């Protein structure tokens, strides 16, 4: 499979894995966000993912992917997943040697994806802000000194980006302290690659491996979307509960029921799980 196909498959395998407490999965829907919205989101993301593999800039490919993802009635399904997948797809395609035959063909590595994200421009940042106009994304308040950069302003924030000469990487640095996806961008996708290794080393059907990787990631670090929506204490408590549920299927199912009932959605952890599935597929994991 091509990098773009592996990314689309990663989106589908992520949502198929169950139980993934608090998230839509093969066995659970939320009230207005159902399994089929994720299927349609994965299909619609395809064109943007192929653009990333074909050498289009991260921002333009991401905006196209988000636009396509949004062609379903559930709202935001995979915005965060795509924020991780687009640079990973670009790095994977480049390391295949098709686009940069002069670089050593080292495969998809933390260094390769870091080169991609560090090369982003102010234009990529502008495309990122435009992406928020396609779909409602749950985000926290911007820093007090950065309200003009609030992503909820969409394209209206672009003049501020341009006057400050902020690249997309710079934007991610500004929110790395409170957004787990931004932190992946600025730390060599460390949790993504570690989870990919765990998925490759695990046994059994891939969606089951994805569910276990999700629970491990959630236990290891509080989910930043949960922290944004419910506060740091809830996020910490969810991670403790996830830790207790590791290796205990019945406990994981109870946690899934409880989080869905409470409307607690560890979405950032699901994003990193999807990114890890992509890296695992690129490293030869077969479905």
Closer Cβ to a copy of itself, 93 or 225, answer by number: 93
Min dist. Cβ of residue 29 to a copy of itself (A): 8
Q: Which of 3, 19, 21, 44 touches a copy of itself by CB under 8 A?
A: 44
Interaction of residue 98 with a copy of itself, rule CB under 8 A: no
Complex with a copy of itself: residue 42 or 112, whichever CB lies closer: 42
Which residues, 6+ apart, have CB-to-CB distance to 104 below 8 Å? none
Nearest approach, Cβ of residue 3 and a copy of itself (Å): 12
Give the x-and-dash track for 55-74 against a copy of itself (CB under 8 A): -------------x--xxx-
Within 10 A of 80 (CB to CB), how many other CB atoms are there? 26
Q: Which residue has the tokens 């600025």?
A: 186
State the minimum distance, in angstroms, from the CB of residue 238 to a copy of itself: 26
In the bound complex, what is the minimum distance in angstroms from residue 73's beta carbon to a copy of itself? Answer: 6
Question: Residues touching a copy of itself: how many (CB under 8 A)?
Answer: 28
CB 80 within 8 A of CB 181: yes
- Part in contact with a copy of itself (CB under 8 A); list of ranges 10-18, 103-111, 247-255, 259-267: 10-18
Site string for a copy of itself, 23-42 (x = CB under 8 A): ---xx------xxxx-xx-x
Distance (Å, whole) CA 131 – CA 147: 18
Closest to a copy of itself by CB, 5 or 54: 5
Helix 232-245, helix 249-262: angle, nearest 10? 160
Q: Pick between residue 73 and residue 248 the one whose CB is nearest to a copy of itself.
A: 73
CA angle, corner 58, sides to 64 and 209, nearest 5?
85
Restricting to residues 174-213, name those near a copy of itself by CB under 8 A.
Answer: 205-207
Of the candidates 77, 75, 73, the residue with the CA atom closest to the CA atom of residue 24: 77
Closer to a copy of itself by CB, 201 or 286: give it: 286
CB of 40 to a copy of itself, least distance (A): 5
> Using CA atoms, how far apart are residues 25 and 27, in angstroms rounded to an integer?
5
The torsion region of residue 166 among left (phi > 0), alpha (psi -120 to 50) and beta comes to beta
Is 81 within 8 Å of 17 (Cβ atoms)?
A: no
What do you get for the CA distance between the two ends of the chain, in Å?
11
Residue 13 in contact with a copy of itself, rule: CB under 8 A: yes
Instruction: Give the nearest distance from C-beta 4 to a copy of itself in angstroms.
Output: 9
Q: How far is the CB of 7 from a copy of itself (least distance, A)?
A: 9
Q: In sequence order, what are the residues at sequence separation of 6 or more whose Cβ sits closer than 8 angstroms to the Cβ of residue 58?
A: 52, 86, 87, 90, 116, 117, 120, 124, 168
Query: Among all chains, which residue has been given the structure tokens 């928020």?
Result: 132
> By the criterion CB under 8 A, which residues form the site for a copy of itself?
1, 5, 8-9, 12-13, 16, 26-27, 34-37, 39-40, 42-44, 46, 68, 71-73, 205-207, 286-287
């Amino acid at each position: 499979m091509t990098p773009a196909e592996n990314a689309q498959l990663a989106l589908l395998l992520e949502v198929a894995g169950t139980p993934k407490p608090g998230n839509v999965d093969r066995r659970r829907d939320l009230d207005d966000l159902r399994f089929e919205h994720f299927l349609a989101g994965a299909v619609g993301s395809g064109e943007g993912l192929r653009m990333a593999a074909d050498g289009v800039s991260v921002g333009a490919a991401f905006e196209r992917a988000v636009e396509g993802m949004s062609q379903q009635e559930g709202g935001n399904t995979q915005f965060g997943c795509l924020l991780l997948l687009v640079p990973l797809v670009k790095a994977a395609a480049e390391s295949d040697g098709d686009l940069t035959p002069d670089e050593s063909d080292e495969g998809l590595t933390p260094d390769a994806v870091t080169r991609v994200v560090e090369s982003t421009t102010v234009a990529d940042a502008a495309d990122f802000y435009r992406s928020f106009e396609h779909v409602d994304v749950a985000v926290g308040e911007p820093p007090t000194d950065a309200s003009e950069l609030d992503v909820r302003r969409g394209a209206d924030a672009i003049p501020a980006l341009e006057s400050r000469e902020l690249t997309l990487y710079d934007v991610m640095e500004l929110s790395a302290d409170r957004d787990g996806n931004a932190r992946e961008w600025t730390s060599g996708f460390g949790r993504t690659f570690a989870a990919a290794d765990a998925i490759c080393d695990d046994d059994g059907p891939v969606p089951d491996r994805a569910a276990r990787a999700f629970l491990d990631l959630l236990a290891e670090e509080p989910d930043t979307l949960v922290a944004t929506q419910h506060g740091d204490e809830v996020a910490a408590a969810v991670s403790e509960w996830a830790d207790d549920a590791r290796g205990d299927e019945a406990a994981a199912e109870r946690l899934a029921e409880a989080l869905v009932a409470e409307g607690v959605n560890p979405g950032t952890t699901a994003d990193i799980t999807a990114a890890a599935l992509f890296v695992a597929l690129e490293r030869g994991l077969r479905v």
